[in-house]
Each structure stands twice: as C-alpha cells, then as structure tokens.
Structure 1
C-alpha cells in the first residue's frame, strides 16, 4: 500500500486491548525481533498509559496502525523529572510520510497532560537519519552518551532531551550550520571549527563525521567490535566530558553526515 498523506492520518491515545496488541505486533515487526524477551507486553502498555505513561498510535483512514510510541514517567539522580519515551516505531511502508513526527507530537501532548515539561529517549549513534529527526526536525538535544545502555555490548546510545514547551530554540541557528567538507575518510574523526551565530558571534564547534546511511545491526556482538562504532564511542564520550551537547546531524553527501557538538548555550541548564 502506498504511503498516505499526512492529512489523511490521525494520531490518538491507545486505550483498548486490541489497540495494545496491534501496537505490540507493530513494534516486534518493525524491529525484527524474534526472541521472546524483546517482545512487548500489551498489559504493560495499558498499565503505563493509566499511570503517568504514554501509549500512542498513528492510523490511516482505513484504521491501519502505522506508527506507535510508548513511554513512562522518569526521574534522574538529580531529581529532574521527565517523560521517558522507550520506543517509537513507524511501519516501513510509511517511512518519510510524516508519521514519526505525528507520533512524537501526540506523545508530547500526552506527556504535557501528565505535567511533564521535557521528554527523553535514546538512539543508536550510528543512525544519522534518526539523529537528524531528533535534533533538526523535533528540536531536541543530545545531552548524554551511555556506553552499553542496555547492559549488553553493542548497545551504545545517545540520550536525547526534548523541551516540550519552549518559546525560543537557543540552538535554532546552529541546527542550520553547514559542516566542513567531510567524506568517508573522515568517519569517526572530530573536526574543530567555529560557526557564526545569528547574532554574528563566533562559537567553537566540533563536528563528528559518520555514514549518512547505516542499518542498525541485530548482531550486538558484531556491533560491539565495529571499529567505527568504537571511534564514535570515544568521540561522544569526550563530548560529554567537555559538557557539550549535540544539536544537529547534517547530511553532507550521499555517503557522509556529521554531528555538531557545541557548548551549552547560556540559559540552558545542565540536565
């Protein structure tokens, strides 16, 4: 079936057992999971949706579920509260149809309804397309990096934070900054430059090159040994040690994209 236009799609909060089961099926199918421990329990979705969490879906006008996200209330060690989005998936037949954004926007509405003002989630740092969506499309920031996030080698993740109510994006001009001319030979390298802010000020910037297109590997042991992933791990760890945030992931050409890491803009508190 061809992708539907965004105007023909609708987002809604999931409430019935049938909807929760359909969401669990979509989750398993999109991620390609074939091990029972990675499946999603519909009862858990119902409990989350009733107790400070979220379970949202996007439907076609024929009532086919093509997008899904779920999350729960979170708190960090410093007492900061947020809505944690554990996963968001889009049917592969509907990629680039605006489904992901519609899904996240409805999840945002649910989170605000529970009183949350920020949302967090994680993604594989090798997935430039996901990074571009998180930073440039939604306006989130990469505020942390956690090696082996799920306690298994090969599960390194960038932590994204999305301000759900913000009158002004302090990184808006930086998200549009053009990276230097980088290519395949630069993958995993950090390039230091300066960028010009909208007010004319110059700001220190660091660019990290990576493949523009990479499939997430199901074999985590192979992933953990990938030399490029290890170089990305070192660079992202150093960004965090320096107190930098990721604010953009820009595609340079068909082969190469680049993260932009900058110092936190004044007025944006560390999370």
Structure 2
C-alpha cells in the first residue's frame, strides 16, 4: 500500500474528505490498528456528490475483530452528516472475504467490472496479478444497506439460480477454472471464485492468473449485460459470487 504524504492528507481533509483511525486504546502509548481514507468528489453517473473510499486497512493481528466494520460504520455516519448518501470504492473480484464484507455485511452493490484498473502494483498483496477491480456503490440510506447494518441476513433467493462457470479440483487440492457459459439470462446467477485468493497466489501464481483471465472474460460479459453483484455464497470450502439481473434501484429497495 502506498504512503500518502501528510500534506496530501491535510489537503484531502480540508477539501471535505475523511481520514479515520482505529486505535488499540486511549491515552498515551496507544497504537493505530486500522484506518480509512476517502475523498470528496463528483459522481458523474448520478450527478451528485459522493465519497470515494481510497484506502482502508486493518493491522494483521487485529483482523477479524470488527475493526474494519466499525471504521465503515463511522465513515457512513460522517458522510451522512455532510448530507451525502453515497460512498464508492473498488475491490478485487476474486477476493471472497472482501466480497462477503462489502456485499453481505455492508449491503454495497457491485455495478461494474474494470480490467487492469490500477496498472501494476508491487506490494505483496497485489504483486504478480493484474489489478482488475469491481466498482461497488454503498447507498447509505437505502433499505438494503439499513437492513444489513441492522443485522438482517441477506435473502439471496437462490432457488432458480444458474451456475455461470464450472471448476475442477486439482491433485494439489486447489480448484481450477474449467469453463464458463455465456448467454445465460436467469434472474440470479452464481460465479465461483477462489475461496482464498492470497493462499492460492502463494501456492500457485499461474493458477491465480488463470482465474483472473477467465473471470475477466465471464464477469465483463455479464456486467455489460445488466447484472449486478449483490452477495457472496459460501458452500463448504467454496465461494460463489451472486449476480442478479436487476435495475440498481430495485436491488437497493429490497431489505
């Protein structure tokens, strides 16, 4: 992750952006364990102001303890006080943990697939893999978001869902993409992604690249055809993105 100079942070905050820190206690000697940084900007799609969440991270030894969730809730409260109801950000389409957090817990919706969005990254988390990204929109006052933040479980309506892709288990135990089906039109589709992208990259970088190549072809096709990313389904040691054919306002209106 890049280092942002303090004078740039000052300028961002003075311009209406937000820098939040999470600490391991109060008083002298406390240490930062997480942060979130967002920019105030113009949302060309909707013709209104929004926050673009630029960076967010939690220290490794504090992950899984609710720090990231607390940061996002605090970010939401601050942005709403500014009279703004939209935060956008990007995440890796193959990161199942991020998909679960963003879609299932926060209630964000993926609206676009963007190949090679950032160019080449050299940090350990992104090195070696093309920086394809999902664009997600967090509509802060929508029934969908309010229901997720109130702890209501996401109803994924999977009774008639169709699978976009098929995978196979290799002798190594890792799953590999086998094929995908273009031209499906069911209301709900499932696309399998790696259950743990970082472990996959460490064990078999070429296989991770194969996942990136196939998912780019398949997901670009379906997002261009009007599907939205609305959830993540876990089944045993497998993870599936949930895509719905719906207008954005329709998806946001469902609690």
**TM-score tier after normalising by the smaller chain length:** 0.7 to 0.9
Higher deviation after alignment, 261-270 or 88-97: 261-270
| Structure 2: distance between partners of 1:237 and 1:174 | 25
Q: Deviations over 1:101-137 (max 9, x none)?
A: 0011111122122221111000011110011000001
1:226 matches 2:209: yes
Which of 232, 242, 250 matches 1:249?
232
1:263 matches 2:227: no
Give the match for residue 142 of structure 2.
Answer: 166
For residues 252 and 217 of structure 1, do their structure 2 counterparts lie closer, same or farther at Cα, with a shift above 3 Å needed? closer
Which of 53, 73, 86 matches 2:40?
73
**Contact map agreement 1:53 1:111 (CA 8 A) in 2:** no
Identify unmatched segments of 5+ residues in structure 2.
Answer: 121-128, 170-174
SS of corresponding position for 1:148: coil
Matches within 5 A, 1:175-194: 175=156, 177=158, 184-185=168-169, 188=177, 190=180
| Structure 1: distance between partners of 2:134 and 2:207 | 15
For residues 157 and 114 of structure 1, do their structure 2 counterparts lie closer, same or farther at Cα, with a shift above 3 Å needed? same
C-alpha root-mean-square deviation of aligned residues, in Å? 3.4
| Structure 1: distance between partners of 2:89 and 2:211 | 23
- With the length of structure 2 as denominator, give the TM-score of the two structures: 0.75
SS of corresponding position for 1:231: helix
| Structure 1: distance between partners of 2:144 and 2:201 | 39
Instruction: Work out the number of aligned pairs and report it.
Output: 222
| Structure 1: distance between partners of 2:105 and 2:72 | 11
Give the match for residue 43 of structure 1.
Answer: 7
Matches within 5 A, 1:191-230: 204-215=187-198, 226-230=209-213
Identify unmatched segments of 5+ residues in structure 1.
Answer: 1-30, 32-37, 195-202
Task: State the Cα distance separating 1:246 from its structure 2 match.
Answer: 0.3
Which of 52, 56, 61 matches 2:16?
52
1:82 matches 2:50: yes
- With the length of structure 1 as denominator, give the TM-score of the two structures: 0.70
SS of corresponding position for 1:226: helix
Q: Deviations over 1:49-104 (max 9, x none)?
A: 22111100111225321110001112243324311001110010011100110011
Task: State the Cα distance separating 1:47 from its structure 2 match.
Answer: 1.6
